[in-house]
Structure 1
Amino acid sequence: MPRTIDWYRRLLVVVLLLPLASMWLVPFSDTSEPRYAEIARLMAQTGDWITPWFRPGVPFWGKPPLSFWAEALSMRYLGVNEFAARLPSWLCLLLSVFILYRGLRILRGRRVAILSALIYATSTLVYVASGAVLTDPFLALGTNLSFVTFAVLASEHRRQCATQAFSSRLLLFCRIGFFVGVAIGLLAKGPLAAAIILVPSACWCAMEQYANRPQPRMAWAKGLLLAALISAPWYILAEFKTPGFLDYFIVGEHIRRFLDAGWHGDLYGTAHREAYGTIWLYWLQATFPWGLALLAMLAASWRSARVRGVLRPLRHDALFPYWLAWAAFTPLFFTFSANILWTYILPAIAPLSVLVALPIERLLVQGCITRRHLLPLFVLVPVAVLMWTGIAWHRPDTLKSERGLVRYALQRGNGHIPLRYLGGPPFSAQFYSKGTAEAVGLSALAAGEESEGLAFVAIPKDEAGRAQAALGHQLNVLYENRRYLLVRCGSSTQEAILPQEPRQRVAKHLPKNRS
């Protein structure tokens, strides 16, 4: 068995290192990643660590700043690039896996610990989010810290764990760590994080009280005060600096967004309106392949006495209601929410990993399965993402990304010729141009071609016909990606600023100029 555990550890190291490839090679693709990366870039550029800015002059009230702080610091030291912006999310994955492994090793031994860590790291949403610029990995770090530390405290008062006893230092760390996790969640996602952490824990405590069993010693008043002292100063400073933040963030983002399917108050995008219950479809996607594996084991228990024999003792596990409460609360909470994303499932994946690891460990011990049966499940998502990374690296312009177009324009213009986007630049263009890409309207483009200096203009492909008619001449396409055509506009007397280029073919979907 020690050799088997070493094999799982080596596999875990490989799984954790593989996201570095996509972090380095894959460009930002609109909308979420470059939007958050641009907010962090502005924070690093301006040195404003209180208010995240959506664009100069427009504060971003949609999320707390923890992820932006980490990404801005990373860009300050590693440069403004994809890898620097994504690195903090990957570090959150490492910390989450470490916390989960250490906690489960104390509670259930090495085999369950390494299996839980591997299952967590190879779940689709966890693996994808670990190499992306998102706020959710920071939320997961906070929820996982609280989830594991409370489980240790709950096990200590029941005296059921893999070790003989807990040290006083460990218990103190867990009591503090639980509330530090709450503070991390408040700074990463907001009050929703406190609900995700406190409600399942409170439900388990209520069940224990109903059964007349002693409660974990938590010092709730002092702990919540600690969480408030860590997180509240930023909320106060943010409201003082940009009045209206608390009303929008607390009432709008945390109440109206989820209860009003037609909420139009989103200042930074569009509400994601879905049918009630869609969160469970997202659960299947986010937890793949392990959510399906758990459902398969439950289905097999109806037909196989051997599988029932494996699963039955798990119901008598003292912490089974705790694992279940944590795993079920998040999808249940969002079942009747109108505006949801699949990333909302992330806090539920760590407890789900434990629920899957416990029966798998028993199946391995009893010889029902071997590690060869598990290997395809462990490598399925990492290999799929690695293959997608190769495709995206080989053909980056198939993505909704402006990296290639912006770099082409900046290199051709030597930084002296402006880049403009008809209708406004997308977030990836803002990031890669470091905020220099400008917006231009069709009438302004036509009116200013002869009166203004030379400029590169990115025209949406579905607007190419109208742009050509407004300009009155054929468009000479310099660069083409998935969404835009890059053309050169301006006074003909300034054409010599650019080196002569070979004549480009006119995109086949453009009408010929008949004037």
Structure 2
Amino acid sequence: MIADKFKSNPYLLYISVILIAIFRLLLTATIPLLDKTEARYAEIARIMQETSQWVVPQIDYGIPFWAKPPLSTWLSAASYLVFGVNEFAARFPSFFLSILLLVIAGKMAKKSGVSFYLPGFILLTMPEFLIHTGVVSTDTALEFCVAIMMISFWKTMTSEKKTYWNYLFFVALGLGLLAKGPLIMVLTFPPLFVWCCLDTQRFRHLFSKFSIISGIIITAIIGLPWYYFAEQQSPGFLDYFIVGEHYKRFVEPGWKGDLYGSGHSQPKGMIWALLFIFGLPWVQVVFYKLWKTRKTILKNDWVSFLVLWLFWTPLFFTLSKNILHTYTLPITMPIMFLMVYWWKDFTRKKVLIRIALIFPVIAFIGYTVLATGVFDKKMNTDKYLLEQILEKPENRDIPLYYWKEKNYSGQFYSSGKAQLITNENQFDSIFKTNQKIILVSLKKKENEIPKKVIKKMILAESNYKTSIFISK
């Protein structure tokens, strides 16, 4: 009986979604925070929670973080208050927002006559979405806000009268300003405008069905006060964030003005390659179907809406050389909606389902191997090294220093106790006040440690990129 049910598509979708979601939740609690991005945002949230400085995020004590607005940081910091400071708490808001999108999309799919679990299956088997279902970053919050804006716009435009979706559009816009700034408007307004241009009657519907004045007020109340207070408490923020992060980052290859890293220089058009890799296998199916139905795309309101949503983001980033695969995350939603729309047309659904399960299965196998601990020293984190040193009672009160450059994971897993040494003179004053110190160094910078200091140290632990020394 159970075997027969498992052979049916709806039951297979249901089981797959539940198992993948549970597996992804397990990952949020058991995988260490990885450098640089994830550990960085987790540490920024930890400092926020510890210092109760909720206006200006800090990348280190007293050093403001101007690169991103605080929504995702607020969520992780609030999660720490509930669950304590740990990996699970840092990642839980991202997991929750992703699952909430699955529920919203599932209800929309059910109304169209397909399985409630189909959207969840498509998204959770897409590498980009599965990776970000439980990653500490600003991208999940941005994706959530973009999705709510676009869904709200569609719901409002296709309803016979004003609905709460009208106001939800402006709420999501305000939250988007707090998630990643004006980029929320760049990713949503152009495709919405072009879609309305396809039938100019839509502009009349837009002004009749949206409470524009009150909506703008709602957006302003939600999104703008933080910008004012952030500039007041940290002068220079607006210039760096608006001009640097929203203009120079995308038009200057290898942008040198980044205060918190370096530009991610890639060949122009790389966004399309990333889309085809991290959208597997669904984006390939969608592009094939779009080609087959290219003559009728613009005749279907829903399909044309989704196509513009899908294509605008990669088109916008085509000329940019500062590209990350995370830029494709907001368009996993239109890929999914297009697959749901065409689902009944596919005759080989089980083949699609089996192919889609390849990535989650590979991820599970990889996790099983990692759980053995065999790759602990190969992972891009200082967690295991610090645990082995600091778990010894005699080492817990010894000051911890990083040579020339701190890893964010080191800051997080030392609860912010890691300090930075940048020159030889600092060693002299440190050794005058401390009999012993713990010194952490990237292997590429070990040869820069003064020889007289190395003579006082013994190597305690190391991995592929980091070494930990303890003074004799």
- TM-score (normalizing by structure 1): 0.83
Residue-by-residue CA offset, 1:284-342 (whole Å, 9 max, x unaligned): 1221221123345567x5xxxxxx7xx87766432211011101111111111232211
User: In the alignment, which of 218, 237, 248 is matched to residue 245 of structure 1?
Assistant: 237
Cα distance, 1:481–1:281 mapped onto 2, change above 3 Å: same
Q: Tell me which residue corresponds to 1:281.
A: 273
SS in 2 for 1:331: helix
1:13 and 2:3 matched? no
Indicate whether 1:457 and 2:451 are aligned: no
Aligned to 1:256: 248
Corresponding residue of 1:33 = 38
| Aligned equivalents of 1:115, 1:210: Cα separation in 2 | 33
How many angstroms does 1:463 deviate by? 4.1
- 1:403 equivalent to 2:383? Answer yes
Name 1:415's counterpart in structure 2.
396
The residue number in structure 1 matching 2:107 is 102
Counterpart of 1:508 in structure 2 is none
Give the deviation of 1:355 after TM superposition. 1.7
User: Equivalent residue for 1:369?
Assistant: 348
Does residue 1:81 correspond to 2:71, yes or no?
Answer: no
| CA shift digits 1:423-455 (9 cap, x unpaired) | 232111001001111222463476468644111
The CA deviation at 1:470 is 3.9
TM-aligned CA distance change 1:212 to 1:428, over 3 Å: closer
Q: CA deviation at 1:233?
A: 1.1
Match of 1:330 in 2: 313
Q: Is the 8 A contact 2:424 2:450 kept in 1?
A: no
> What residue in structure 1 maps to residue 469 of structure 2?
487
Q: 1:155 to 1:117 in 2, by over 3 A?
A: farther
Structure-1 separation of matches of 2:184 and 2:271: 17
Partner in structure 1 of residue 264 of structure 2: 272
Structure 1 range deviating more: 454-463 or 222-231: 454-463
C-alpha separation between the residues in 1 aligned to 2:445 and 2:194?
Answer: 55
SS at match of 2:397: coil
Q: Give the Å deviation of 1:102.
A: 2.2
Give the stretch that moved more between structures: 287-296 or 446-455. 446-455
1:4-47, Cα deviation, whole Å (9 max, x unpaired): 43442332222222211211111111100010000000000011
User: Which one of the candidate residues 420, 424, 429 is aligned to 1:439?
Assistant: 420
- Whether 1:344 and 2:327 are equivalent positions in the alignment is yes
Please tell me whether the aligned partners of residues 79 and 93 of structure 2 are also in contact (alpha carbons under 8 angstroms).
yes
Deviation at 1:219, TM superposition (A): 2.3
Q: Which of 144, 163, 171 is the aligned partner of 1:172?
A: 163
Which letter maps to 1:121? L
Which residue of 2 is the match for residue 136 of structure 1? 139
Question: The residue matched to 2:163 in structure 1 has which SS?
Answer: helix
Amino acid at match of 1:60: F
Quickly say closer, same or farther: Cα 1:5–1:149, change in 2 above 3 A: farther
Structure 1 residue 240 displacement after superposition: 1.3
- For structure 1, which segment, 390-399 or 328-337, has the greater mean C-alpha deviation from structure 2 after superposition? 390-399
Residue 120 (structure 1) shift? 2.1
Residue type of the alignment partner of 2:19: V
> Which residue of structure 2 lines up, in the alignment, with residue 198 of structure 1?
189
Q: 1:284, 1:71 → 2: CA distance?
A: 31
Cα distance in 2 for residues equivalent to 1:238 and 1:447: 38
> In the alignment, what sits opposite 1:507?
none
Does 1:123 pair with 2:104?
no
Secondary structure of 2:301's partner? coil
Task: Count how many residue pairs are aligned between Structure 1 and Structure 2.
Answer: 462
- 1:449 and 1:143, CA in 2 relative to 1: closer, same or farther beyond 3 A? closer
User: Does the residue aligned with 2:467 lie in a helix, a strand or coil?
Assistant: strand
**AA in 1 matched with 2:413:** Y
Q: Identity over the aligned pairs, expressed in percent?
A: 30
Deviation at 1:145, TM superposition (A): 0.9
Q: Secondary structure at the match of 2:10?
A: helix
Over 3 Å counting, the alpha-carbon distance change for 1:424 and 1:335 in structure 2 is same
Q: Secondary structure at the match of 1:421?
A: strand
Asked whether the equivalents of residues 196 and 203 of structure 2 are also in contact (C-alpha less than 8 Å), the reply is no
What secondary structure sits across from 2:69 in the alignment? coil
Q: Contact (CA 8 Å) 1:405, 1:479: kept in 2 or not? A: yes
Q: Retained in 2: the 8 A contact 1:103–1:149?
A: no
CA contact (8 A) 2:166 2:210 kept: yes
RMSD: 2.6
For 2:344 and 2:155, locate their aligned partners in 1 and report how far apart those are by CA, in whole Å.
20
**Equivalent-residue separation in structure 1 for 2:241 and 2:359 (angstroms):** 35
Distance (whole Å) between structure 2 residues aligned to residue 292 and residue 61 of structure 1: 37
Aligned CA distance change for structure 1 residues 464 and 251 (closer, same or farther; 3 Å): closer
Check 1:68–1:328 CA distance in 2 against 1; reply closer, same or farther (3 A cut). same
CA pair 446-414 structure 1, distance change in 2 beyond 3 A: closer
Greater C-alpha Rg? 1
Alpha-carbon distance in 2 for matches of 1:31, 1:266: 15
Partner AA of 1:335 in structure 2? T
Instruction: Out of 221-230 and 423-432, give the one that drifted further.
Output: 221-230
User: 1:50 maps to what in 2?
Assistant: 55
Letter in 2 for 1:453: Q
Residues 220, 207 of structure 1: alpha-carbon distance in 2 compared, 3 angstrom cutoff: farther
Deviation at 1:133, TM superposition (A): 0.4
TM-score with structure 2 setting the length: 0.90
Task: Report the Cα distance in structure 1 between the residues aligned to 2:345 and 2:454, rounded to whole angstroms.
Answer: 74
The letter for the 1-side match of 2:389 is A
* In structure 1, distance between residues paired with 2:298 and 2:12: 29
Distance 2:365 2:268 in 1: 34
CA distance in 2, matches of 1:176, 1:79: 34
Say which of 277, 302, 308 aligns to 1:319. 302
Which is worse superposed, 376-385 or 470-479?
Answer: 470-479
8 A contact 1:21–1:389 mirrored in 2: no
Supply the AA of the counterpart residue of 1:369: R
SS at match of 2:439: strand
Out of 322, 329, 337, the residue aligned to residue 354 of structure 1 is 337
